[in-house]
């Protein structure tokens, strides 16, 4: 006989079983996994106690990949089969990868659609598949520690990851057999790790300088609500740039020419990374560099020389900091705390310059390499249901505006950048031509006014629109962005209810650099874009007026117009036709005003004729009942 546990009225039921959840920081250089055990969030190490898992996968002829630390020795010896920094390829198309090919020693297999595949001795693999191997390794690590399968994970992504990059990460998690509870922006995860949601009311800055990118986010905490106000960054900035600056200094000191072979340059880069790490903790470091002629250069680098080389690089982080304050609509005095995230924030000069900019001492209590994974683990523990009393609410933002293409190659933005998610926004549109029975919906992302200056995300068609005169149909287009930052779009014709939609899953997306360029261009070209948009709007309206009047003249011109009146209208049409594709919107506006004036009497006669035709054969009382 089965036994059931019954609670008395008013008595709390037994505690639910603890669910296994983890947070994963899928990084460009290193990845980590963390979990909450006995109310404490901590990263999990391997059997050797190593917590950082290098984001490197080496493929072998037998098909079995090697993941992590053991692969570092193969990066230079077996570069075609050892894939590192694959995060940079996630969500990118063929054209994007080709621009990076010179920097990565891989052979890419061209794909007609989607992300290209990387050719190895074990076969061709997509960036999603390579990332899945890293996630599998982290999954094995945490499941061995928790002694059972995971119920769910939270995976962190850069704040600037667009929809395509998030989808690629979601696909990688699916291939790895992981249930994703939430995608969490890395700066937001760091803030959770520091416990800023626990009574730390006010506005906080999250300064994230990692190996490949820099992110700065402004967050506000109030009564349990965790709100991201704005985010910005510089994708061409990180620890790799610091390494290169030190390497160039070493090449100059050792009198090694820039034409040194690839292996020699890799060795100098290795010494540069070592020097960077040692000078973070000590005042000077002794270095030995082997020259191409076989002799050795012995030298020293002190912290002052180190600071002199890297100061211009760190200074570049301040421009995005200024921009994010402007986007958030706050002043420096409003910031109550700045949190340092990313391995590069260990450098004393970084902390010094950030503290000086924000006028406060940086918060550095948690290992900057581990803080993102720990924050993700805390959030995963909550979402898995292990803390039912926790009422923390996360409100993140989208990095770039979302909109659709309208006539004239113009973009109508439905969701502006830095809008809090999840969010749903809709807008009504109409047809451009008489009898139009379908509408093509082109979804784009970016800050510019013209479609060609933004990134295309997806296209689909709304079919079955009843044939009507231009402008009569009412099509409601709705954008919905979920808590993970993933977009879905629907379109519905109001009179018939015909509807279609798409979960936007483009084959490739934006690189961090393209996002940064879009934001810079939107500011640089703001005035030009306004003028271009104004011109295009007049051009579209002129085309509409021209076409409508031509149809009307063909139908009723002979019956309703004298030869003089027709000649006057034809002259105005010719004048509009000659300027409507030009660059002078004022000339188009003037020509349209003239055309409207000389054709207004014709329009009035057409309307009267239509009313007369409608009334013919009917009695007045038929219309009054």
The catalytic residue positions are 25, 87, 186, 208
Q: Is the preceding omega at residue 103 within 30 degrees of 0, hence cis?
A: no
Question: How far apart are the two ends of the chain, measured CA to CA in Å?
Answer: 76
From CA 512, how far away is CA 85, in angstroms rounded?
Answer: 14
Concatenated DSSP letters for 440-463?
Answer: EEEEEESSSSBGGGSEEEEEEEEE
Element (H, E) at 267: helix 262-279
- DSSP, res 347: S
The whole-angstrom separation of Cα 3 and Cα 352 is 64
Length of the chain: 625
Give the three-state DSSP class for 557: helix
Beta 202-209 vs 335-341: how paired, if at all?
parallel
Quick one: three-class SS letters along 272-294? HHHHHHHHCCCCEEEEEEECCCC
Rg over alpha carbons for the chain, rounded to the nearest Å, is: 31
Determine contact, residues 402/414, Cβ cutoff 8 Å.
yes
Take residue 347 and report the two structure tokens written for it. Answer: 């450098």
Query: Under a CB-based contact definition with an 8 Å cutoff, are residues 404 and 444 in contact?
Result: yes
Helix, strand, or coil (residue 365): coil
Collapsed DSSP state (helix, strand, coil) of residue 469: coil
Instruction: Provide the 10 A C-beta neighbour count for residue 192.
Output: 27
Question: Which stretches of 318-440 are DSSP H helices?
Answer: 318-328, 348-358, 371-383
* DSSP, residue by residue, 82-120: EEE-GGGGTT--HHHHHTTGGGS--EEEP-SSSS-EEEE
Point out which residues pair with 215 in neighbouring strands.
Answer: 208, 233
Closest CA to 518 of 407, 410, 417: 417
What is d(CA 183, CA 588) in angstroms, rounded to the nearest whole number?
49
Nearest to 508 by CA among 151, 78, 94: 94
- In order, the DSSP letters of 27-83 are -SSEEEEEEEETTEEEE---TTS---EESEEE--TTS--EESGGGTTHHHHSTTTEE
Q: Using an 8 Å Cβ cutoff, are 568 and 531 in contact?
A: no
SS3 602: helix
Residues 6 or more apart whose CB falls under 8 angstroms from that of 295 comprise none
Q: Residue 181: how many CA atoms within 13 Å on its side-chain side?
A: 21
| Unique residue bearing structure tokens 């509409």 | 544
Q: What are phi and psi of 51, to 5 degrees?
A: -90, -35
DSSP bridge pairs for 109: 117
Could you tell me where the DSSP H helices lie in 466-525?
Answer: 512-524
**CA atoms in the 13 A half-sphere facing the CB of 590:** 8
């Amino acid at each position: 006989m089965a036994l059931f546990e019954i609670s008395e009225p008013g008595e709390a039921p037994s505690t639910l079983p603890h669910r296994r959840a983890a947070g994963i920081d899928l990084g460009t250089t290193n990845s980590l996994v963390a979990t909450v055990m006995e109310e404490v969030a901590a990263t999990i190490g391997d059997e050797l106690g190593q917590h950082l898992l290098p984001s490197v996968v080496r493929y072998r002829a037998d098909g079995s990949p090697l993941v992590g630390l053991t692969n570092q020795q193969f990066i230079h010896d077996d570069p075609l089969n050892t894939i590192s920094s694959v995060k940079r390829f996630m969500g990118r198309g063929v054209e994007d990868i080709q621009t990076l090919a010179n920097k990565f020693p891989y052979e890419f297999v061209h794909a007609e659609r989607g992300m290209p595949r990387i050719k190895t001795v074990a076969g061709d693999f997509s960036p999603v598949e390579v990332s899945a191997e890293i996630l599998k390794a982290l999954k094995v690590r945490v499941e061995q520690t928790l002694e059972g399968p995971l119920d769910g994970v939270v995976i962190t992504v850069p704040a600037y990851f667009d929809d395509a990059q998030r989808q690629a990460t979601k696909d990688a998690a699916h291939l790895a057999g992981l249930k994703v509870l939430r995608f969490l922006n890395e700066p937001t995860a760091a803030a959770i790790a520091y416990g800023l949601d626990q009574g730390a009311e006010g506005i906080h800055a999250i300064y994230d300088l990692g190996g490949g990118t820099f992110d700065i986010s402004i967050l506000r905490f109030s009564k349990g609500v965790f709100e991201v106000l704005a985010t910005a960054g510089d994708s061409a900035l990180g620890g790799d740039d610091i390494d290169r600056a030190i390497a160039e200094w070493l090449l100059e000191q050792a009198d090694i020419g820039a034409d040194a072979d690839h292996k020699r340059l890799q060795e100098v880069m290795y010494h540069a990374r070592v020097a960077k790490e040692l000078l973070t903790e000590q005042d000077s470091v002794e270095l030995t560099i082997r020259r191409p002629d076989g002799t050795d250069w012995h030298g020293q680098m002190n912290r002052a020389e180190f600071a002199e080389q890297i100061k211009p690089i760190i200074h570049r982080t301040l421009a995005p900091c200024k921009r994010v304050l402007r986007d958030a609509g706050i002043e420096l005095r409003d910031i109550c705390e700045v949190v340092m995230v990313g391995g590069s924030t260990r450098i004393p000069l970084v902390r010094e310059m950030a503290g000086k900019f924000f006028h406060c001492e940086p918060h550095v209590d948690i290992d900057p390499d581990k803080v993102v994974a720990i924050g993700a683990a805390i959030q995963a523990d909550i979402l898995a249901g292990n803390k039912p009393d926790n009422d923390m609410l996360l409100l993140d933002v989208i990095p770039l505006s979302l909109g659709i293409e309208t006539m004239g190659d113009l973009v109508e933005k439905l969701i502006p950048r830095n809008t809090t998610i999840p969010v749903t926004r809709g807008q009504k549109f109409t047809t451009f031509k008489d009898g139009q029975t379908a509408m093509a919906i082109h979804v784009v992302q970016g800050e510019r006014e013209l479609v060609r200056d933004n990134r295309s995300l997806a296209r689909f068609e709304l079919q079955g629109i009843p044939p009507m005169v231009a402008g009569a149909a009412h099509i409601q287009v709705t954008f919905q962005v979920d808590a993970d930052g993933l977009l879905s779009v629907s379109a519905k014709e109001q009179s018939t209810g015909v509807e279609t939609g798409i979960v936007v899953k483009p084959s490739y997306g934006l690189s961090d650099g393209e996002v940064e360029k879009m934001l810079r261009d939107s500011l640089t070209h703001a005035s030009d874009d306004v003028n271009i948009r104004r011109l295009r709007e007049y051009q579209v309206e002129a085309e509409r007026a021209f076409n409508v009047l031509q149809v009307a003249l063909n139908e009723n011109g002979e019956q309703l117009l004298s030869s003089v009146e027709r000649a006057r209208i034809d002259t105005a049409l010719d004048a509009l036709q000659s300027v409507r594709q030009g660059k002078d919107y004022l000339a188009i506006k003037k020509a349209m005003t003239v055309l409207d004036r000389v054709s207004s009497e014709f329009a009035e006669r057409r309307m009267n004729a239509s009313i007369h035709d409608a009334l013919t054969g009917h009695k007045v009382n038929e219309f009054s009942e």
